[in-house]
Amino acid sequence: MERTPLLAGNWKMFTTVAEATELARAIAAKPLPAGRQAMLAPSAPALHAVGNILRDTGIILASQNICWEEKGAFTGELSPLMLEEAGATMAIIGHSERRQIFAESNSLINKRLLGALKFGITPILCIGETLTERESNDTKSILEKQLRQGLAGAKIKTGNQLTIAYEPVWAIGTGQTASAAQAQDVHAFCRLLLADIFDKAIAQQIRILYGGSVNPANIDELMAQTDVDGALVGGAALKAESFLRIIHFETL
Ligand code: PGA
């Protein structure tokens, strides 16, 4: 079963609209390699501008979060309808910065995920353990809880409707990547859980991205792992040259 690799850039709260526009143009200037997908998640104020640049390029536009309601009294939230209007077809949900800094719980993340599915926006559900959890051997139980609670009640017909991103918190923005073997081990574990939550065929279709200090020097080895289907990239996605190298990873 072939899963199309997805190389996704999470720009977090970086880039002004002018900078985002320039960066998107530089990334879109180079054609995507055959059989690969790329995605950009700019900050909300830059979504429309970047969406206009990405139209017809094949590069996917994503938001960094999403609300479950299309409109209403939800100050500070991102309506799925408004995201669609900007051209977004994917949404990052449950990023560790949302979990840690903004106290988003598994149940809140689940509401966001169900909302995205309802509106036909593909969620990228982020999961990951902290260093303390890894050191106390709790990695798998934490990931299982994040997956089961985050996906509770989710109904999908194919694995293309959902993407998972495994992002160990200790590897995000630290320059310390999980080794390719550590990533493979966790991804294979997540796929087994997905088979239990959905079914085996769907689990084989769901892309599981790795995130956490991915850069041009480690992407090739990470992508060589059977269950690593792409990357969610922060820092190295903010420069066209490094993100393009990541999109053009070499097959080992
Ligand atoms: P990083 O961030 O690549 O800068 O570690 C990844 C992420 O937070 O998605």
Tokens read off for 59: 């590069």
* Residue 210 and residue 183 in contact, taking contact as beta carbons nearer than 8 Å: yes
Give the pLDDT band of residue 177 (cuts 50, 70, 90): confident
DSSP string, 142-185: HHHHHHHHHTTT---SSGGG-EEEE--GGGTTTS-PPPHHHHHH
* Residue 10 and residue 64 in contact, taking contact as beta carbons nearer than 8 Å: yes
pLDDT reported for residue 176: 87
| Residue 241 annotated in active site | no
Nearest-angstrom CA–CA distance, 181 and 189? 12
Exactly one of 97, 104, 129, 167 is catalytic; name it: 167
pLDDT reported for residue 85: 97
Which pLDDT tens digit goes with each residue over 10-35? 999 999 999 999 999 999 999 999 99
173 lines ligand 1 (CB under 6 A): yes
Give the pLDDT band of residue 1 (cuts 50, 70, 90): low
211 lines ligand 1 (CB under 6 A): yes
Nearest-angstrom CA–CA distance, 57 and 234? 21
| Residue 19 annotated in active site | no
pLDDT reported for residue 209: 98
Q: Could you tell me the residue ranges of all domains in the chain?
A: 6-247
* Residue 189 and residue 219 in contact, taking contact as beta carbons nearer than 8 Å: no
Average pLDDT, the chain: 97
Rounded distance from Cα 67 to ligand 1 centre (Å): 22
Tokens read off for 126: 């982020």
- The residue whose two tokens read 């997905």 is 194
pLDDT reported for residue 175: 87
**Ligand 1 atom nearest 211 alpha carbon:** 6
Query: With a threshold of 0.95, does the pTM exceed it?
Result: yes
The arithmetic mean of pLDDT across residues 168-185, rounded, is 93
Which pLDDT tens digit goes with each residue over 86-103? 999 999 999 999 999 999
Q: Does residue 137 register a pLDDT over 70? A: yes
Which pLDDT tens digit goes with each residue over 180-217? 999 999 999 999 999 999 999 999 999 999 999 999 99
Give the pLDDT band of residue 2 (cuts 50, 70, 90): confident
The arithmetic mean of pLDDT across residues 94-116, rounded, is 98
Rounded distance from Cα 29 to ligand 1 centre (Å): 23
The answer to whether domain 6-247 has CATH 3.30.160.110 is no
Which residues lie closer than 8 Å to 123 by C-beta, 6 or more apart?
66, 90, 91, 93, 112, 113, 116, 117, 162, 163
**What does DSSP assign to residue 30?**
S
Beta-bridged to residue 233, according to DSSP, are 9
Q: Look at strands 37-41 and 60-63 and give their pairing.
A: parallel
The arithmetic mean of pLDDT across residues 228-235, rounded, is 98
Q: Closest Cα to residue 82, out of 73, 74, 71?
A: 71
